Amino acid sequence: MQVTETLNEGLKHEFKISVPATDLDAKADAKLVDLKDKVRLNGFRPGKVPVSHLKKVYGRSVMAETIDQTIRDTNTQIFTERGFRLATEPKITMPTEEKEVEELLAGKTDLTYTVAIEVVPAIQLADFKSFTVEKPVVDVTDADVDEAIKRIADQNRPYSAKAEGAKSENGDRLTISFKGSIDGVPFDGGTGEGIQLVIGSGQFIPGFEEQLIGMGTGETRTLKVTFPKNYASEKLAGQAAEFETTVTAIEAPGETKIDDDFAKTLGLESLDKLKEAARERLNAEFAGAIRQRLKRTLLDRLDEAHKFEAPPSLIAEEFNLMWNSIKAEMESSGKTFADENTTEEAAKDEYQKIADRRVRLGLVLSEIGEKNKITVTDDEVSRAVIERARSMPGREKEVWDFYRNNAGALAQLRAPIYEDKVVDFILELANVTEKKLTREELFKDEENEKTAA
């Protein structure tokens, strides 16, 4: 076998390989000998079929299998000897001319092919003990609990009918019927009967609820609105419409007394139990936000400490996934790059940088996990599937069957578990300092992060 490297540019390599026909023929003959005891041919006793006859019957198919196996074994040997970790599948170029292919399958010519690869660079991991990472600390205050319970009370407040002749106001709950049309033509989904709506809740499209203020029971009014450009229905997005709307009932909001009786309407024993439940939920909410911020901070440190050339094909693949998603979102919303105070070229440049960062961080996390034997167990994946199923009541079996029969979806579920385990491993080594924040500071930073992303 002869191996010649024909390209060595950065992470890209290409090899020309030649395997003598005699080597292929010997391997094919060995396969035929092995086949001799397995096949049954008319006119021959089991195990007595001459190899020469088998070669006539199965020679081409056996040689094709031999060539395929030889290429795989040879490539593995080349990559292993050079310590290559492949970033993508090898690109193999074989002879295509009919005469060459026929002679190759007949064992009359050497196997000559090229293999082009892109490799993962050697990654020198940082000393994680030198990392300093700041962890926010946010306490749930009594005021936070009271505010949470007030929101629950507002969502469960009672309503009572207004006096005859009273007009609707902001905050009132109305029962309405409506018929929508565009240019005088009714459209699908534009009709409703007995619909309850709290004015100011934002349940309906912008401009609809405000025009209901000042109406009386039994009154009909034509409301003129325009559907948002990013409306779910493409046929309605951006369209001007009219809704002939009749108010059939007006109810004023009452006050909810926050006491033991209110807690009992929510299935809890007392107000103290309601406060405990609210505090637990807020603690979980804060913990999630703190974890996300801590993780982002750590990933920023990993990014700063590991600057290397990432495989171009992986960056291109990641960029294309993001860019296609961005373009689809902009098309559905009717937005332009100018609306985002940027240009398409500037946006592409920004997402190219994000793609490069994501690929590098993915490789770094993978390297850390591999070197420290960090794995995700089947039990951990099963627990994640169970949690996903629990989040969709009534569809548990459907969710379970989906993951059981979809290896790709299962891999997507495994990936964040693996990433979190690697992050936890690094945090165990890093110097984690604490910084006291208020609830407002924590979630303000969360919103800023989302906007920046």
- Structural domain contains residue 417: yes
**Mean pLDDT on 22-41:** 79
**Mean pLDDT on 186-206:** 92
- Same-domain status, 248 and 173: yes
How high is the pLDDT of residue 450? 46
Among 377, 399, 379, residue whose Cα is nearest residue 388: 399
- Same-domain status, 235 and 306: no
- Same-domain status, 286 and 409: yes
**pLDDT of residue 447 exceeding 70:** no
**Mean pLDDT on 125-153:** 94
- Same-domain status, 289 and 194: no
Nearest-angstrom CA–CA distance, 247 and 168 = 9
**Mean pLDDT on 86-101:** 92
Nearest-angstrom CA–CA distance, 270 and 278 = 12
Confidence class for position 426, pLDDT limits 50, 70, 90: very high
Cβ(296)–Cβ(305) under 8 Å?
no
More confident residue, 186 or 340: 186
Confidence class for position 452, pLDDT limits 50, 70, 90: very low
Question: Secondary structure of the chain: what % helix, strand, coil (to 5)?
Answer: 50, 20, 30
Confidence class for position 49, pLDDT limits 50, 70, 90: low
- Structural domain contains residue 259: no
How high is the pLDDT of residue 32? 80
**pLDDT of residue 453 exceeding 50:** no
- Structural domain contains residue 143: no
Residue 63, domain CATH: 3.30.70.1050
- The amino acid present at 407, given as its one-letter code, is A
- Same-domain status, 109 and 162: no
- Structural domain contains residue 422: yes
Among 190, 242, 198, 240, residue whose Cα is nearest residue 220: 242
Cβ(176)–Cβ(192) under 8 Å?
yes
CA angle 230, 236, 239 (to 5 degrees): 90
How high is the pLDDT of residue 39? 66
Three-state SS sequence of 277-333: HHHHHHHHHHHHHHHHHHHHHHHHHHHHHCCCCCCHHHHHHHHHHHHHHHHHHHHHH
- Structural domain contains residue 261: no
- Same-domain status, 114 and 174: no
Nearest-angstrom CA–CA distance, 147 and 281 = 13
Confidence class for position 377, pLDDT limits 50, 70, 90: very high
| Mean pLDDT score across all residues of the chain | 90
- Same-domain status, 361 and 427: yes
**Mean pLDDT on 154-177:** 93
**pLDDT of residue 255 exceeding 90:** no
- Structural domain contains residue 258: no
Return the bridge partners of 191, or none: 179
Residue 206, domain CATH: 3.10.50.40
- Structural domain contains residue 70: yes
- Same-domain status, 219 and 301: no
Residue 340, domain CATH: 1.10.3120.10
- Same-domain status, 284 and 204: no
How high is the pLDDT of residue 31? 83
Identify the domain boundary among 98, 118, 138: 118
What is the model's pTM?
Answer: 0.74
- Same-domain status, 405 and 290: yes
Confidence class for position 58, pLDDT limits 50, 70, 90: confident
- Structural domain contains residue 71: yes
Torsion angle of C-alpha atoms 300, 416, 128, 304, degrees rounded to 10: -20
How high is the pLDDT of residue 46? 62
Q: Which domain holds residue 41?
A: 2-118
Tokens of 324: 């296609």
- Per the structure, how many domains does the chain have? 3
Least confident of 13-17, 51-55, 363-367, 438-442: 51-55
Would you say how long the chain is, in residues?
453
- Same-domain status, 273 and 247: no
- The amino acid present at 230, given as its one-letter code, is N
- Same-domain status, 332 and 437: yes
